[in-house]
Structure 1
Amino acid sequence: METILVVDDDKDIRELLMILLQSEGYNVVEAENGEEALKKIDINTSLVILDIMMPKLNGIQTCTKIREVNFVPILFLTAKGQDSDKIIGFSAGGDDYLVKPFSPSELMARVKALLRRHLVYTNNMSVKEDKVNNIIIRDLIINLDEKSITLGNKQISLTPREFDILVLLASTKNKVFSAQNIYESVWNEPYFSISNNTIMVHIRKLREKIEQKPQSPEYIKTVWGMEYKIE
């Protein structure tokens, strides 16, 4: 039984989410603000549904702190629906974004999609112990079995989405991927023009982590504005 942490200062929203999620067989843990959420999240947490506008510690700050130690999927559920709000949410490490008021059926579809991707990400593939399943590009080593990144002698921490994008680009060196290619391959969802912003944010965050000079990248190259490749 997956455990979902619901973080919202609105008691009615928490109760509604608890009813919806428990009806689908999920275990639900509640928190009414970010500080409480950070105390309740643990290794059994499979998903976090996170409001943004909360007292003490808002959702963006909470997401950033969670990402320092945990790759659990995070779904922002908030009344803040501007494109700029979504970009900030994705930049903080969020995996998905749903605006209130929301459709219960759409919420459950997104919850199930995030949990499904997380399960695929966390399950190690069955390989022989003496086999090392790596992608190596100069000083960059991507260990596909351990889902780990090493650059030189430094371990790099990536979110699941960042890891999936990097693997996609690195698996076929010099192949050019459009923003639509990346979004549909990694998110497994239909592509819309707003998805460009999501891809740009994730590429920027990736470069900040693996490039010595993010403004002059050695690994992830931009081709024709919104297309990318790894050389």
Structure 2
Amino acid sequence: MSLLSDKTGDILKGIFKDFCSVKGIKNLLIVPSYDLDSDFTQYAENRKALLDELIKGVDPKQQPSQLTSTVISGLSYSFAWSAGVYFGESAYSPIEHALQHHELLFGHAKKFSRDEHSVIVFVIFPWSGEKVFSFEGTKRTFFKQLGDHFFNDYLGSADLASKYNRKFKSSILAANVTRYLSGIVYLEDKAITANTPDQLNIEASYRWNENAINPLFGTLFDNRLNLHGAFNLNTYIAES
């Protein structure tokens, strides 16, 4: 089980906190504008450079209203030095988002079983999930496409799994690794919005791997999910 959170947003929040600490600022709202479907790893790899850019480029005495990053294209900031209305602008494509993020599944490969069904369960909370998960169509398109890329894109490829996860020490192919993941389940935990304490309020959806060595189609687990109203992403027609 893993938390499917806004990794880029979390990285930027950490940078903003460090920036305010260095500058001795107690209260400052920084509103970032960036492509929500961009690869979060570029933010992780450039964290120090992004922090240095803010420290050197923003003088609290001058109180600039905006700063455009030269480290990452498409990233900019608005600074709320005083009370008012501030907003950021972002572009998003669920298909591009899935393409950029599906490789993270290789990071979970140690959990895959060769002999039994393997399922990755992603949990999404309203307060920590990607901002775009508030929209039904884009959300389901992302969920489906994430599985589509991982389950299908590497078939027939000669790429080693170590290309996508350096922890692999063997010569196993990426295509073979993807076949050991039977499926992905997404649990959207909305318990905080429940009307009564005993209301579970969790929405489930799933994407099964049709190329899996241990497929889940027609299994007891598959039937139970359907019985409880889980959404079948295999039959979903993704938005283009």
User: Fold-level match, TM-score > 0.5?
Assistant: no
Larger Rg, first or second structure (1 or 2): 2
TM-score in terms of structure 1 length: 0.30
Larger RCO: 1 or 2 (CA < 8 Å, sep 6+): 2
